[in-house]
Structure 1
């Protein structure tokens, strides 16, 4: 699990360094502002990938005295950093595109178009690879990196369309074609800004300890309710902690049970939930007394914090 995430991030980092150099060098040599802007966007991706790499290594560290719940939120912090970098890149692309709209380039060359096309195909392949690894490993930083690649796909697509229109227009005397590049860039800037917002919102939700989806909670409750010795489900809560989940359970059991029997019930609840959902790494169980004649099912001390 650990190695797959790290390999995906290292592949992304090496690719971003290579593409950044190619785009900036070719963009400067052939005076292509859209390619230079795309290259600077890729330079921001290097910072984002380094953040993802660092966080992925930190998040896998075991719990310690200072971090008893583990280091999983390191990945969430990195995802938030990626969102900020994407937002800055979107503003940069929009700014450069606006300048190009006011002062369109006089001529275009085939080499910048080829460079943009290679970047488009490469980044699409990287997106497919990293999103699969990120989802299979439930790695927030790898998923954020994948969406960063998707933003690059949009940017490269805009560059291909803009440069292609400019080249075609120079051959066919389409005066309006020189505006294809900046208009496409502005549209891409808005798409990248939306991606940044979605990644940032998800990171903030996890940092604020938003609950897991309702269907997951329902699955946990169904498992717990199926155990014979559980007479009442008082409360089930769960929160994401980066690439793993922590669950809190409060249930009612017969008040005459011994401590040993209660301990065994708690271990059984933990086993059932962790086998049902492999993303769960910790289940904290609190047992409340249940007496004959009380209602079974849900209820009890729910909301009382007992």
Structure 2
């Protein structure tokens, strides 16, 4: 299975999981008198739409390069990530607003059984985060890694809800609002996670230099190609799940143009063989 197909299948997993959990949290929140669970359901609902966006983005990004997009369509990925961040900010704002309103409104203590529901949700969402994040790193998909953080933020909101409901149940009368304060705290965690997702996506759009490990690997591979004396400049920019390379390589100065050209192609082929995640590989030959 290639990286694109792996990322797309993982997104289907996120959509199915978020849909089921949104229903479970919503019903448990309504019948269990817990706004923290209802807030959790709101976030899971926005997660469904953000996962659908990720899926559409991944399908578009997997299109091959064409005349109008010689470097492929991968730049759609960080743009989709920005939209995922917008969903996170929106859900955090809604949760914070509703929490403040509920804090000012008297209501009943949540039901004790909601803690069992939350415990199962926390376990599932943390496992989902680890699975989707692993797939995102394996495929090199920034939008899939952003989707993974949705699972982690969901787990965090569920933890705060668990603490809030526990406090309300132990404290009894006068502590009914602990559940709502927990939801308000969860909204702050969600906003912080939104920033963690936004920052690397911005770096990808701006072609930020963050690929030192890959550059070292490229130089090591180049040093083993017959005819390459040394390497100089090496620039890497990420587009979707592909890395486009500009590399300056030194060869002996007395070689003919054709010999230098052949060495450059050998280096190009070796890099693509060793690093299948590479896209365009431009080799600039210089005399040693």
Report what 1:301 is aligned to: none
Is the CA contact (8 Å cut-off) linking 2:11 and 2:54 kept in structure 1?
yes
Is the CA contact (8 Å cut-off) linking 2:39 and 2:183 kept in structure 1?
no
Report what 2:159 is aligned to: 157
1:72-91 alignment to 2 at 5 Å? 72-91=74-93
The offset of 1:272, in angstroms, is 3.3
Is the CA contact (8 Å cut-off) linking 1:245 and 1:279 kept in structure 2?
yes
Structure 2's unaligned 5+ residue stretches are none
Report what 1:28 is aligned to: 30
Distance 2:234 2:127 in 1: 41
Is the CA contact (8 Å cut-off) linking 2:234 and 2:247 kept in structure 1?
yes
The offset of 1:214, in angstroms, is 2.1
The offset of 1:246, in angstroms, is 0.7
Q: How many residues align?
A: 286
Report what 2:9 is aligned to: 7
Distance 2:84 2:200 in 1: 12
Decide which of 54, 59, 62 is 2:61's aligned counterpart.
59
Report what 1:147 is aligned to: 149
1:203-242 alignment to 2 at 5 Å? 203-227=201-225, 229-231=227-229, 233-242=231-240
Decide which of 97, 101, 104 is 1:102's aligned counterpart.
104
Aligned Cα root-mean-square deviation (Å): 2.3
SS at match of 2:176: helix
Report what 1:271 is aligned to: 269
TM-score of the two chains, using structure 2 as the length reference: 0.89
Distance 1:137 1:215 in 2: 16
SS at match of 1:270: helix
Is the CA contact (8 Å cut-off) linking 2:226 and 2:263 kept in structure 1?
no
Distance 1:59 1:17 in 2: 25
Is the CA contact (8 Å cut-off) linking 2:81 and 2:201 kept in structure 1?
yes
1:114-125 alignment to 2 at 5 Å? 114-125=116-127
Distance 1:232 1:38 in 2: 55
Is the CA contact (8 Å cut-off) linking 2:236 and 2:243 kept in structure 1?
yes
More deviation, 16-25/35-44:
16-25
SS at match of 2:59: helix
TM-score of the two chains, using structure 1 as the length reference: 0.84
Distance 2:225 2:137 in 1: 31
More deviation, 58-67/113-122:
113-122
Structure 1's unaligned 5+ residue stretches are 291-295, 297-306
Larger radius of gyration: 1
